[in-house]
Structure 1
Amino acid sequence: MLDWDDLRTVLAITRAGTAARAAETLGVHPSTVFRRLNAMERTLGVQLFRRLPDGYVPTTAGEEAGTVAERMEAEIAVLGRRLSGQDLRPSGTVRVTTTDTLVGLLQSDLPAFRREYPEIELRFLVTNRFFDLTRHDADVAVRPSIAPPETLVGRRVATVATALYASQRYLDEKPAEMDLAEHDWIAPDESLGQLPSTRWLAATVPAERIHIRANTLMAALEGTKAGVGVCPLPVFLGDAERGLRRLGAPLPELASELWLLTHPDLRFVGRVKAVMDFAAEALRRRRALFEGVGTDPAGGSENGAR
């Protein structure tokens, strides 16, 4: 007999491609994954995965088991959301997924949130990838997006303006008026391919002029501050750094949108609604910061966001 832990193991290996990465997803030791898989195959008398040098590939039996596991996972998630949706009290745990660029802004309002909702515990999941709220990886997502998943509901909080930045140290050697193709550049890597700035750089800047590629905007920001080159950055990041200079106004083609999202089954849960409403108000108060309104293209800002 297979139980849910067995099927979760099959599903994790199918998605991850290796037992080691599956163990990370499941939060167990790799030896536990090996042991479970070997025990399942012995019990069933069938091989579920082919062990190849570069990973695990499901057999026909493994694909069938994975399909059943995926269906069960979806049903369990639906049940969990429906049961959670019956809880209207503003108490319990809310998991908020956001980016490393936004978590500081969100946490700056935590003292006020704690005073208003002392029985809600927040857990921040900081990552640049979009967690699957359908599988209940998180309850609330706060992140920039041009096209948020249609399976989620929420509200658009602000436009996220993006401009080109460089350090004064860099500009002392290479004037801002140079042709774009002659500058040295810092760019997001392929893991941030959803950003308009990533696509703009690929279409505008010769690949040989890009000297650093980073998988987070915070890493790109540090390279820009060090004087490596020019980098497109959200204005709420770039304008906050005294050592950086904005090379002109924000570029419309680099703009994104800031969204506050949750799953439809969770929108009326008391604790989730409390987080959504509080975060929406807190972020809207910073709308000028996100949209670069009233800021000085030469660096610094008029709204105190320096």
Structure 2
Amino acid sequence: MTGSSVKDWNNLHYALAVAKAGTLSGAALELEVSHSTVLRRIDALEKALQTRLFIRHPRGYVPTEAGQMLMGAAENMQDQLDLLVGKMQGVEETLQGSLVITTVNTLIPLLMPMIRGFQRDNPQVRIELVADRRHLRLEHGEAHIGIRPGAKPTEPDYVVQPGISLNSALYASAEYLRECGPFNGLDALAGHRFIGPTEAYDFIPSLHWITRQVPDEQIVLRCNEFSGFEDAARCGVGIAALNQWCAEARSGLQRLIEPPPEWCTNLWLVTHRDMHRTRKVQLFLRWIKQELARLSPEIGKLV
């Protein structure tokens, strides 16, 4: 066999799932991916082999003669892989090695006590925490677990679980309020300065409101990092939209409005399908869910 799609063993894994399930939807359910992902993988494999592996019927997929030959070989490979995995499970049970977690910089103060608690119970696991606005590619092994705010990730091979919905509001320092006077509501913006993002954040409702509703001339400072909003507000630069837990964890900022329900930002726990069921990943996911559930309702609520 030649071609990059043939060398991608995942494509063969998908074909075997279709052969066993008899339908794309059945294979997609088994593999925890989308219907379109399964179809794309099968098409890529058939194109690379230059032969048809399945006969498409209205009620499902039936392997051709070539497909039956390939599925037989694939089943042998799967048996050998299952045997290897069984031998390796003893190594996995020791919970040794590193666990790479990626998130955004502003969430680190919230997550760090939870990570410390997990490490206290599992000292042999080395945590690597990567703070990056860029979504690391879990399918390329850049991280094991992503903790992401905003819109629900839609990558086809990702397992996405809800975490918590974080409350947000507007905040300013006492120094700023002495200088500019009280803030009287979202429809009374005149005379106030604001801190905004350098680019549109449609997936963060509070920042989307600032981008859409605050006149450009009243945005006196723009930042490309969430932590910069808080620092600027504490220094009296202007009013910032901040997560409630972040703004109120330390003194120096006053909440100007009650958190609007529509400003809640969802937090998602993201893993790749191939790593999702490993013991280290499952242990950490259970731990982080329990810790998020213990947070004060003022910070947020479970999604």
Range into which the TM-score falls when normalised by the shorter chain: 0.5 to 0.7
Deviations 1:179-214 (A, max 9, x none): 224310001221755322232112100111101111
> Once structures 1 and 2 are overlaid, which stretch shifts more, 212-221 or 245-254?
245-254
**What RMSD over aligned residues (CA atoms) do the two structures have, in Å?**
2.6
| Separation of aligned partners in 1, 2:192 and 2:262 | 20
User: Is the 2:165–2:301 contact (alpha carbons within 8 Å) kept by the matching residues of 1?
Assistant: no
1:196 corresponds, among 201, 205, 214, to 205
| Paired position in structure 2 for 1:219 | 228
Report which of the two structures shows the higher radius of gyration computed on alpha carbons: 2
| Paired position in structure 2 for 1:170 | 176
By how many angstroms is 1:96 displaced?
0.2
| Separation of aligned partners in 2, 1:292 and 1:184 | 30
2:139 alignment partner, SS class: helix
AA partner of residue 113 (structure 2)? S
| Paired position in structure 2 for 1:244 | 253
2:104 corresponds, among 75, 99, 107, to 99
AA partner of residue 161 (structure 1)? N
| Paired position in structure 2 for 1:283 | 292
| Separation of aligned partners in 1, 2:126 and 2:100 | 9
Deviations 1:131-189 (A, max 9, x none): 12122221101121222224321321211111011111111122212722431000122
| Separation of aligned partners in 2, 1:172 and 1:292 | 33
By how many angstroms is 1:118 displaced?
2.2
1:211 alignment partner, SS class: strand
| Separation of aligned partners in 2, 1:292 and 1:116 | 26
By how many angstroms is 1:280 displaced?
1.6
2:270 alignment partner, SS class: strand
Gapped regions of structure 2 (runs ≥ 5): 1-81
| Paired position in structure 2 for 1:142 | 147
By how many angstroms is 1:224 displaced?
0.2
TM-score, normalised on structure 2? Answer: 0.64
1:108 alignment partner, SS class: helix
Distance 1:254 1:198, change over 3 A: same
Distance 1:270 1:237, change over 3 A: same
AA partner of residue 300 (structure 2)? E
2:147 alignment partner, SS class: strand
User: Is the 2:104–2:148 contact (alpha carbons within 8 Å) kept by the matching residues of 1?
Assistant: yes
AA partner of residue 172 (structure 2)? A
Distance 1:167 1:84, change over 3 A: farther
The total of aligned residue pairs comes to: 213
User: Is the 2:164–2:301 contact (alpha carbons within 8 Å) kept by the matching residues of 1?
Assistant: no
1:101 alignment partner, SS class: helix
Gapped regions of structure 1 (runs ≥ 5): 1-81, 294-306
Deviations 1:38-96 (A, max 9, x none): xxxxxxxxxxxxxxxxxxxxxxxxxxxxxxxxxxxxxxxxxxxx999965423221110
| Separation of aligned partners in 2, 1:275 and 1:153 | 15
| Separation of aligned partners in 2, 1:292 and 1:115 | 26
Distance 1:239 1:111, change over 3 A: closer
What percentage of residue pairs aligned between the two structures are identical?
Answer: 31
